[in-house]
Amino acid sequence: MLSGNIKTIGVYIGPDKPEALKVLRDLQEWCEQHQIELSAIGIAAEEHGCRPLAEEDGQLVEDVDLIIVLGGDGTMLGAARLIGPRQIPVLGVNFGWLGYLTEFTLKEMFPALDRLIEGRLSIDYRMLLDVIVKRGDDVIASHRALNDAVVNKSAPARMPQLECYVDGMFVNSFRADGMIIATPTGSTAYSLSAGGPIVHPGMSAIILTPICPHMLSNRPVVVSGDSTVEMRIKVSSDDLMLTIDGQLGISLELDDRIELRRSRFIFTLVRPASRNYFEVLRTKLKWGNV
């Protein structure tokens, strides 16, 4: 259960969500009634007289006790990147299409906040991946992923060859359009569309899912969350990219190495107590429907 000692709330609003901006005024009134300070992102802070939640470079200005995400799943992934190593609970209100991570509806938001300050909401702790890109002896990029890290072609190009190692042991050499390295949370995202398994988000695991592999025998594999996964670029082109949660892109070159391991930080997700994980699978992803 989440402690009800909430004194400051930050609001993270997705781009092109004008309807979410309208909700911010109601949220301000609710916070004033409960003597809670409110911060917001960017233009939302300027228009509503809130304190800024983050600088223009995306760095969190101050710690808050809770972040409310108004948007879709992509907005939630952006919020996870903003929070970084700070383990701030996040409550997602769906203004997008699927709302797999942003589970609360607008009608549920204020009742949920009332329960929250009473300490009556449950939270999930979600695994994150630390992703490091090495070129020679240099680290050229370091990021954290909630869903996945994906090596793939950014344009029509020849098929890359990727070597995969787990804890230093050679796994296989893959000729494929790319490779998805996913967390259990990300197992129901791009990895699922590419034929990967559904993995319960409470597990500690890393999912390796080839994208359109040339060989039928190259199937997805699940390894321990305590493992270190390394991908090596053996055959490449100028159009090979590493994408983090579908939002950040890093250009890759021949012989680049990508190291992935479970982060020591976690993502803290506030969830409706009235819905369990399997109900979300059935209702959001139509899992098991015939």
Q: At residue 3, does pLDDT exceed 60?
A: no
Render pLDDT for 105-135 as a digit per residue (tens, 0 to 9): 999 999 999 988 887 778 899 999 999 999 9
pLDDT of residue 63: 74
Quick check: is 87 in a domain? Answer: yes
Render pLDDT for 59-86 as a digit per residue (tens, 0 to 9): 675 678 999 999 889 999 999 988 888 8
Same domain, 278 and 246: no
Same domain, 142 and 24: no
User: Does the pTM exceed 0.75?
Assistant: yes
The rounded distance, in Å, linking the Cα atoms of 265 and 28 is 30
Same domain, 109 and 226: no
Quick check: is 161 in a domain? Answer: yes
The rounded distance, in Å, linking the Cα atoms of 35 and 108 is 21
Same domain, 241 and 142: yes
The rounded distance, in Å, linking the Cα atoms of 5 and 20 is 25
Quick check: is 83 in a domain? Answer: yes
**Which is catalytic among the residues 16, 57, 63, 73?**
73
Known active-site residue 73: yes
- Give burial (CB, 10 Å; 0-12/13-18/19+) of 132: middle
Quick check: is 214 in a domain? Answer: yes
Quick check: is 3 in a domain? Answer: no
Quick check: is 68 in a domain? Answer: yes
Same domain, 145 and 216: yes
Domain span at residue 145?
A: 128-264
Rg (CA), the chain: 20
Same domain, 239 and 133: yes
pLDDT of residue 96: 72
Same domain, 98 and 168: no
Quick check: is 1 in a domain? Answer: no
pLDDT of residue 148: 99
Same domain, 99 and 137: no
Report the number of distinct structural domains present in the chain.
2
Q: At residue 257, does pLDDT exceed 90?
A: yes
CATH of the domain at 51: 3.40.50.10330
Distances (CA, A) of 226 to 150, 191, 202: 20, 20, 14
Q: At residue 250, does pLDDT exceed 80?
A: yes
Higher pLDDT, 16 or 280: 280
Quick check: is 17 in a domain? Answer: yes
Residue burial 165-198, b: 16+ Cβ < 10 Å; e: rest: bbeeeebeebbbbbbbbbbbbbbbbbbbebebbe
Same domain, 98 and 135: no
Same domain, 88 and 143: no
Same domain, 61 and 140: no
Render pLDDT for 139-174 as a digit per residue (tens, 0 to 9): 999 999 999 999 998 766 678 889 999 999 999 999
Q: At residue 43, does pLDDT exceed 70?
A: no
Judged by average pLDDT, the poorest of 136-145, 192-201, 239-248, 281-290 is 281-290
Same domain, 27 and 101: yes
CATH of the domain at 155: 2.60.200.30
Render pLDDT for 178-230 as a digit per residue (tens, 0 to 9): 999 999 999 999 999 999 999 999 999 999 999 998 887 789 999 999 999 99
